[in-house]
Chains A and B, each alone.
Chain A
């Protein structure tokens, strides 16, 4: 049995291992190892296209993580007082949102955004004051990626933060109110510190999801290039050690964030 388990694990991890291994390859060919070197990391990081894509990805992932954890917190706190059939409907909708395939999500958000832009742009043109010159034309780009990613990750953030909210002792809130704190002060002096590990975990996880996402970004990116989109485009010109180095760096970032987030969720209440 153990032997088969080993095979499964090899099957899972050999491709990833090879990418990591070849990112340290001194030679230029992706098929033969020619000694250890970290020069490809340097080359990747000094490539202006890579840096531009990285910047876009960081902005998208950072904003997504921030927005989805704020909305997730609001949803988790709001759902706390919802019971019965309404609660069941909300819960089902959240789980469905998590399960929707990325490609469906990509198409859906693309259609929604395109429709919205078709509606907004003519309107904007009409109400734009002439002294400000030509009316801007909103189009797909940074904001549409962020919107799509925020939509996509908010459900997961809600589930993670809600677990923390439910695990919290309700009498702490009453104790705070009993000690003359207004509901708002109670929120930021007691509720927020209590559920913060959950919020942070959700933010880190959603940062990773957004940072790694190719499918949804590909649909709604317009002209913008995120790191996964850049990697995808470069691969069509052949796999280079530089691409391997980028993949390795993304892997390290993702794993670090994932482990941190798991650690936060596991920590005692």
Chain B
């Protein structure tokens, strides 16, 4: 999860961005697949496009690859516009969702396909050596003469990776590359892709609808919705300061308390719930400011919520508490997860780390407890 490339704001030399979308809009007939989207992907980073099916992820990749042209706006590579340049002239390669290996060619011919299109063609010996190195890189040495139909899903995946990487592209595009693999293999390939990216230093742009996958592999992530990017940031930025409820919901879990904004300034807002409870929280960095009278929500991550027995005194720093009853308790190894039902705020999820177990050790479902959080650990946002 340690971000390698957090420095998005201070770079403004456009050559430092492998990919830039500048007000890109893409229509398919009446369908707006991408709407006035801006995006910057720094050179050498592992960037993910994360969002539900149909939000425009594949369209974004196809615009970078050159299979589609933007209806309006500009797609740039290291500061140079790529609009109008055909796909076969762009220094990017794609790993297709269903891999698309050439079934009439063997593994070696598949991998050497890209270099063989160059003119003049590289000498046979050099090609052989390159293919061998690539198979080494994807850990399938000796697979040169296999036929495509003899390969398993995981092996196919590595072959098409090798087929793309042999060209040393500036950017590698991956469209849900792990979706077809079973769970265990997927974990394995996630780690492998990540270390492969570090090894070759090429910019990876990964499309996925799996938040866990995006969070665990990426340096930076763009969260997409309905043909637009809602927020771009490092995994921890997205987790700690989601700009709205959609992002907070998509990245990790959150407790949401919604109501009408009763007080607001440029730093924080207070929300009055239907049950007449007032909750105050600051805005996330880069989040929208609220105005009095509109609908708003306070998001609180389960890790921020503390619980303690009625007999116990309120922990210091906690400036808000409410009474509730435990309905469920799950051990997650390094932490315990409590589900609590309250009269005034509904169901609340709390995760207590093992290090703070002293207070909660004896709590069990059915017990009446108090719970609360530090006000500035909540986040005020529009109730989308």
Contacts of A181 in B (CB 8 A): 88, 113, 117
A257 in the interface, Cβ–Cβ < 8 Å?
no
Given A169-B100, A181-B88, A193-B104: A174 in contact with B113 (beta carbons within 8 A):
no
User: Which chain B residues (150-168) contact chain A, with CB distance < 8 Å?
Assistant: 163-164, 167
B193 in the interface, Cβ–Cβ < 8 Å?
no
Chain B residue at minimal CB-CB distance from A182: B88
Would A171 and B118 count as touching, CB distance under 8 A?
no
B67 in the interface, Cβ–Cβ < 8 Å?
yes
Given A171-B100, A174-B87, A178-B87: A185 in contact with B117 (beta carbons within 8 A):
yes
For the complex, what is the distance from the CA of A210 to the CA of B205, rounded to whole Å? 55
- Contact among B67, B97, B167 for A179, CB-based, below 8 A: B167
Chain A residue at minimal CB-CB distance from B160: A175
B375 in the interface, Cβ–Cβ < 8 Å?
no
Contacts of A182 in B (CB 8 A): 88, 117
A123 in the interface, Cβ–Cβ < 8 Å?
no
B177 CB → nearest A CB, Å = 13
A191 CB → nearest B CB, Å = 11
B98 in the interface, Cβ–Cβ < 8 Å?
yes
Would A175 and B100 count as touching, CB distance under 8 A?
yes
Would B117 and A180 count as touching, CB distance under 8 A?
yes
User: Which chain B residues (76-100) contact chain A, with CB distance < 8 Å?
Assistant: 86-89, 92-94, 96-98, 100
For the complex, what is the distance from the CA of A269 to the CA of B149, rounded to whole Å? 11
Contacts of B65 in A (CB 8 A): 174, 178
Contacts of B86 in A (CB 8 A): 177
Would B88 and A172 count as touching, CB distance under 8 A?
no
Contacts of A190 in B (CB 8 A): 102
Would B88 and A171 count as touching, CB distance under 8 A?
no
For the complex, what is the distance from the CA of A175 to the CA of B93, rounded to whole Å? 9
B134 CB → nearest A CB, Å = 13
- Contact among B94, B101, B103, B118 for A178, CB-based, below 8 A: B94
Contacts of B67 in A (CB 8 A): 174, 177-178
B73 in the interface, Cβ–Cβ < 8 Å?
no
Chain B residue at minimal CB-CB distance from A172: B100
For the complex, what is the distance from the CA of A172 to the CA of B96, rounded to whole Å? 9
Contact with A along B100-114 (1 / 0, CB 8 A): 111110000000011
Q: How many A-B residue pairs have CB under 8 A?
A: 60
Chain B residue at minimal CB-CB distance from A174: B67
Contacts of B96 in A (CB 8 A): 171, 174-175
A194 in the interface, Cβ–Cβ < 8 Å?
yes
- Contact among B89, B100, B103 for A174, CB-based, below 8 A: B100
For the complex, what is the distance from the CA of A176 to the CA of B93, rounded to whole Å? 10
A104 CB → nearest B CB, Å = 41
Chain B residue at minimal CB-CB distance from A190: B102
Chain A residue at minimal CB-CB distance from B62: A174
Chain A residue at minimal CB-CB distance from B89: A180
For the complex, what is the distance from the CA of A177 to the CA of B67, rounded to whole Å? 9
Contact with B along A163-177 (1 / 0, CB 8 A): 000000101101111
Contacts of A180 in B (CB 8 A): 88-89, 114, 117-118, 167
A269 CB → nearest B CB, Å = 8
For the complex, what is the distance from the CA of A183 to the CA of B93, rounded to whole Å? 16
- Contact among B98, B163, B167 for A171, CB-based, below 8 A: B98
B29 CB → nearest A CB, Å = 11
B110 CB → nearest A CB, Å = 9
Chain B residue at minimal CB-CB distance from A186: B88
Would B113 and A179 count as touching, CB distance under 8 A?
yes
Would A177 and B100 count as touching, CB distance under 8 A?
no
For the complex, what is the distance from the CA of A179 to the CA of B162, rounded to whole Å? 12
- Contact among A177, A193, A194 for B88, CB-based, below 8 A: A177
For the complex, what is the distance from the CA of A185 to the CA of B164, rounded to whole Å? 18
- CB-defined A-B contacts under 8 Å, sample of 8: A171-B97, A176-B113, A178-B88, A179-B163, A179-B167, A180-B167, A181-B117, A183-B88
Q: What 6 A-B pairs are tightest by C-beta distance, nearest first?
A: A171-B100, A179-B114, A180-B117, A175-B100, A193-B104, A181-B117
